[in-house]
Amino acid sequence: MLTGTFERNLDAKGRLSLPAAVRSELSEHVYVLAAPDVDALYVFSKDEFEKWVMGLFEKRGGFNSRSSKDQQLMRKVTSRATPMDIDSASRIGLPEKLREKVGLDREVTVVGNWNHLEIWDRAKWEAVDAESEDDDFFLDD
């Protein structure tokens, strides 16, 4: 399980040093994509990425390779995921195109969110985090 909040700085080449606390939960290869629901990047291990993608098809009864709609969704999702190797210094390179898409500059916050990491622009994360009321944290909507 990926948990915690970590402040980091991207280096001049756009590389992110992964926090040691979450590094052990990831394999040598990860998938990075722009989050579909927030202005952040998602980082998945290979196994968790596969589970997440297949989960998109659960309401449809699972992925049907003969369905053009399922093929279209699968293509859209997998074409937007960038495979990355974690280097010997526990860093991943974040492509400029992805950084621009979600507005990442130098200062970022890495957030553990169960089966994936989220990489946020630090100021955006602070604003989103401040919006949530601690008193309502465990209440149902």
CB 33 within 8 A of CB 98: yes
Topology (CATH level 3) of domain 5-46+83-136: Chemotaxis protein chec (3.40.1550)
Q: What's the pLDDT at 80?
A: 96
Q: Which helix (H) or strand (E) holds 126?
A: helix 122-131
Instruction: Indicate the domain borders of the chain.
Output: 5-46+83-136
Q: Looking at residues 48-64, what average pLDDT do you find?
A: 95
Q: What's the pLDDT at 141?
A: 57
CB 86 within 8 A of CB 18: yes
Q: What's the pLDDT at 135?
A: 60
Q: What's the pLDDT at 42?
A: 98
